[in-house]
Amino acid sequence: MYGEPEDDDLAAEEQASSLRAFEKHYQSENTWEDLVEDESGMLRVTTGDKGYREKRRKIALAASNSHVCKGMIRFVYVVLDLSQAVNEEDMRPSRLAVISSLMYKFFREFFNQNPLSQLGLVVTRNGIAERVTELSGNPETHIAALKENLDAAGDMSIQNSLEQVHASLVQLPMYGSREVLFVVSALSTCDPGNVHTAIAAAKNAKIRVSVVSVAAEMHVCRRMTEETGGIFGVAQSQHHLEELLMAHAPPPPLNEESTKPSLVEMGFPQKRPLDKDAFFSGRGGDYVCPRCKSRVEELPSQCTVCKLTLVSSAHLARSYHHLFPVPPFTEGFGLDDEGKRHTSCFACYVDFEEGNESTSNENAPSVCPKCKKTFCFVCDVYIHEKLHNCPGCELVKFLAEEGQ
Amino acid sequence: MSRSRCHVPPKPLPLSFSRGSLPSDGSSVLVILFETNPLLWSGLGGRLDGKESFDETLRQLLVYMIGFLSLHEQNRVVIIALHSNVEHCMYAIPTLASGENDLTNTGSKSDLCAQVISNLATLAMRMRSDFDLSTKSNMPLTTVISMALCCVNRARVYKPHCSPRILCILGSQDSSGQYFSGMNAIFSAKNSGVRIDACLLGYTDSFFLQQAAQITGGSYCMLQQGEKALYYLLSDLPGSESIRAKLQSPRKFCSEYQATCFCHEVNLQVGFVCSVCLTIFCERCRKCLACFADYT
pLDDT in tens, B239-268: 666 777 777 666 555 555 677 787 887 888
pLDDT of the residue at A334: 80
Shared domain check, A336 and A302: no
Please, are residues A206 and A179 in contact by the beta-carbon 8 Å criterion? no
In a domain, A111, yes or no: yes
Please, are residues A82 and A122 in contact by the beta-carbon 8 Å criterion? no
> Does B2 sit within 8 Å of A72, measured CB to CB?
no
**A178 closest CA partner among A150, A196, A146, A201:** A201
What's the rounded Cα separation, in Å, for the pair B117 and B59? Answer: 10
Min Cα distance A6 → chain B (Å) is: 7
Please, are residues A302 and A291 in contact by the beta-carbon 8 Å criterion? no
Residue B14 in this model has a pLDDT that exceeds 50: no
> Does B143 sit within 8 Å of A395, measured CB to CB?
yes
Q: Which residues of B touch A69 (CB under 8 A)?
A: 276
CA-angle at B142, arms to B140 and B146, nearest 5°: 125
In a domain, A307, yes or no: yes
Residue A299 in this model has a pLDDT that exceeds 80: no
Over residues B100-117, the pLDDT tens digits come to 443 333 446 667 777 777
The string over A17-26, giving b where at least 16 C-beta atoms fall within 10 Å of a residue's C-beta and e elsewhere, is: ebeeeeeeee
In a domain, A254, yes or no: no
DSSP label at A286?
A: S
Which of B178, B276, B280 comes nearest A261 by C-beta? B276
Of A286, A303, A321, the one marking the end of a domain is A321
Shared domain check, A335 and A312: no
Over residues B165-216, the pLDDT tens digits come to 898 888 877 777 778 888 888 888 988 888 898 888 877 778 888 888 888 8
The string over B39-51, giving b where at least 16 C-beta atoms fall within 10 Å of a residue's C-beta and e elsewhere, is: bbbeeebebbeee
Kindly identify which residue of chain A lies nearest to residue B178, measuring between CA atoms: A398
Which of B140, B177, B294 comes nearest A395 by C-beta? B140
- The CA-atom distances, in angstroms, between A268 and each of A126, B182, B283 are 43, 19, 15
- The CA-atom distances, in angstroms, between A97 and each of A85, A102, A244 are 13, 9, 17
Residue A112 in this model has a pLDDT that exceeds 70: yes
Q: DSSP letter string over B52-74?
A: S-HHHHHHHHHHHHHHHHHH-TT
Q: Which residues of A touch B154 (CB under 8 A)?
A: 348, 350, 376, 378-379
What's the rounded Cα separation, in Å, for the pair A261 and A63? Answer: 24
Shared domain check, A272 and A208: no
> Does A317 sit within 8 Å of B281, measured CB to CB?
no
ipTM: 0.80
In sequence order, the 6+-apart residues with CB closer than 8 A to the CB of B273 are A263, A264, A265, A266, A316, B279, B280, B281
What's the rounded Cα separation, in Å, for the pair A11 and B43? Answer: 55
In a domain, A114, yes or no: yes
> Does B150 sit within 8 Å of A391, measured CB to CB?
yes
In a domain, A1, yes or no: no
More confident position, A197 or B131: A197
Shared domain check, A242 and A291: no
User: Which residues share a beta bridge with A271?
Assistant: A287
Kindly give the pairing relationship between strand A207-213 and strand A232-234.
parallel
Q: Which residues of B touch A8 (CB under 8 A)?
A: 1-3
Shared domain check, A315 and A185: no
Which of A261, A319, A387 comes nearest B185 by C-beta? A387
> Does B257 sit within 8 Å of A299, measured CB to CB?
yes
pLDDT of the residue at A122: 95
> Does A378 sit within 8 Å of B15, measured CB to CB?
yes
For residue B265, the tally of other CB atoms under 10 A from its CB is 9
Please, are residues A304 and A294 in contact by the beta-carbon 8 Å criterion? yes
Please, are residues A87 and A206 in contact by the beta-carbon 8 Å criterion? no
Q: What is the 3-state secondary structure (H, E, C) of B69-120?
A: HHHCCCCEEEEEEECCCHHHCCCCCCHHHHCCCCCCCHHHHHHHHHHHHHHH
In chain B, pLDDT over 70 holds for what percent of residues? Answer: 68
Min Cα distance B251 → chain A (Å) is: 14
Min Cα distance A38 → chain B (Å) is: 26
Shared domain check, A152 and A218: yes
What's the rounded Cα separation, in Å, for the pair B180 and B185? Answer: 9
User: Which residues share a beta bridge with A302?
Assistant: A309
In chain A, pLDDT over 70 holds for what percent of residues? Answer: 79
User: Which residues share a beta bridge with B165?
Assistant: B30, B195
Q: Across residues A327-331, what is the average pLDDT?
A: 84
If pLDDT is split at 50, 70 and 90, which confidence band does A2 have? very low
Q: How far apart are the first and last CA of chain B?
A: 58
Q: Which residues of A touch B3 (CB under 8 A)?
A: 8-9, 12
Kindly identify which residue of chain B lies nearest to residue A384, measuring between CA atoms: B16
Q: Which residues of B touch A346 (CB under 8 A)?
A: 147
> Does A347 sit within 8 Å of B151, measured CB to CB?
yes
In a domain, A26, yes or no: no
DSSP label at B164?
A: E
Over residues B222-235, the pLDDT tens digits come to 776 656 778 877 77
Which of A290, A318, A394 comes nearest B269 by C-beta? A290
Mean pLDDT of chain A: 81
Backbone angles phi, psi at B149, to 5 degrees: -70, -35
Q: Which residues of B touch A394 (CB under 8 A)?
A: 140, 142-143, 146, 178, 181
Of A321, A339, A356, the one marking the end of a domain is A321
Min Cα distance B137 → chain A (Å) is: 10
Q: Report the greatest alpha carbon distance in chain B.
A: 72
Q: By mean pLDDT, which of A387-401, B86-100, B216-230, B259-273 is the weakest?
A: B86-100
pLDDT of the residue at B3: 41
Min Cα distance A257 → chain B (Å) is: 13
**B144 closest CA partner among B115, B119, B172, B163:** B172
A93 prior amide bond cis, ω within 30: yes
Shared domain check, A358 and A299: no
Q: Which residues of B touch A401 (CB under 8 A)?
A: 175, 177
Shared domain check, A341 and A195: no
pTM for this entry: 0.79
Shared domain check, A338 and A314: no
In sequence order, the 6+-apart residues with CB closer than 8 A to the CB of A88 are A94, A95, A185, A215
Q: What SS3 class is residue A63?
A: helix
Q: What SS3 class is residue B156?
A: helix
Which of B15, B183, B272 comes nearest A264 by C-beta? B272
What's the rounded Cα separation, in Å, for the pair A60 and A401? Answer: 30
HSE, CB side, 13 Å, CA atoms: give it for residue A41.
0
HSE, CB side, 13 Å, CA atoms: give it for residue B197.
26
Amino acid letter, residue A209: V
Shared domain check, A149 and A272: no
> Does B274 sit within 8 Å of A263, measured CB to CB?
yes
In sequence order, the 6+-apart residues with CB closer than 8 A to the CB of B89 are B36, B81, B83, B123, B126
CB-count burial class (<10 Å; 0-12, 13-18, 19+) for A145:
middle
Helical pair A195-204 and A158-169, crossing angle rounded to 10 deg: 20
Q: Which residues of A touch B271 (CB under 8 A)?
A: 265-268
Mutate one of A309, A352, A379 to test the B interface: name it (highest B CB count within 10 A): A379
Residue B50 in this model has a pLDDT that exceeds 70: no
> Does A290 sit within 8 Å of B151, measured CB to CB?
no
pLDDT of the residue at A403: 66
CA-angle at A292, arms to A290 and A297, nearest 5°: 70
pLDDT of the residue at A278: 66
CATH number at residue A94: 3.40.50.410
Over residues A184-211, the pLDDT tens digits come to 999 999 999 999 999 999 999 999 999 9
Give how many domains chain A has, as a whole number: 3
Shared domain check, A339 and A317: no
A5 prior amide bond cis, ω within 30: no
Q: Which residues of B touch A254 (CB under 8 A)?
A: 276
> Does B154 sit within 8 Å of A379, measured CB to CB?
yes
Q: Across residues B31-59, what is the average pLDDT?
A: 72
Q: Which domains does chain B have, with CATH numbers?
A: 28-246 (3.40.50.410), 258-296 (no CATH)
Q: What SS3 class is residue B32?
A: strand
If pLDDT is split at 50, 70 and 90, which confidence band does A397 have? confident
Q: What SS3 class is residue A261?
A: coil
What's the rounded Cα separation, in Å, for the pair A142 and A134? Answer: 9
In a domain, A23, yes or no: no
In a domain, A9, yes or no: no
Shared domain check, A170 and A95: yes
Please, are residues A225 and A231 in contact by the beta-carbon 8 Å criterion? yes
Over residues B136-146, the pLDDT tens digits come to 667 788 888 88
- Where do the DSSP E strands lie in A186-315? 207-213, 232-234, 263-267, 270-271, 287-288, 295-296, 301-302, 309-310
pLDDT of the residue at B130: 58
Please, are residues A380 and A59 in contact by the beta-carbon 8 Å criterion? yes
Residues spanned by the domain of A340: 330-403
Spatial strand order of the sheet with A295-296 comes to A270-271, A287-288, A295-296
Min Cα distance A295 → chain B (Å) is: 15
Q: By mean pLDDT, which of A96-110, B43-57, B274-288 is the weakest?
A: B43-57
pLDDT of the residue at A132: 93
- The CA-atom distances, in angstroms, between B42 and each of A17, A37, A154, B54 are 63, 56, 76, 9
What's the rounded Cα separation, in Å, for the pair B156 and B273? Answer: 38
Amino acid letter, residue B223: L
> Does B188 sit within 8 Å of A388, measured CB to CB?
yes
Over residues A129-171, the pLDDT tens digits come to 999 998 888 888 899 999 999 888 999 999 999 999 999 999 8
Q: By mean pLDDT, which of A45-59, A368-382, B177-191 is the weakest?
A: A45-59
pLDDT of the residue at A232: 94
> Does A389 sit within 8 Å of B181, measured CB to CB?
yes
pLDDT of the residue at B290: 78
- The CA-atom distances, in angstroms, between B195 and each of A131, A329, B30, B231 are 38, 28, 10, 21
Kindly identify which residue of chain A lies nearest to residue B284, measuring between CA atoms: A263
In sequence order, the 6+-apart residues with CB closer than 8 A to the CB of A159 are A189, A191, A192, A193, A194, A195, A198
Of A321, A340, A358, the one marking the end of a domain is A321
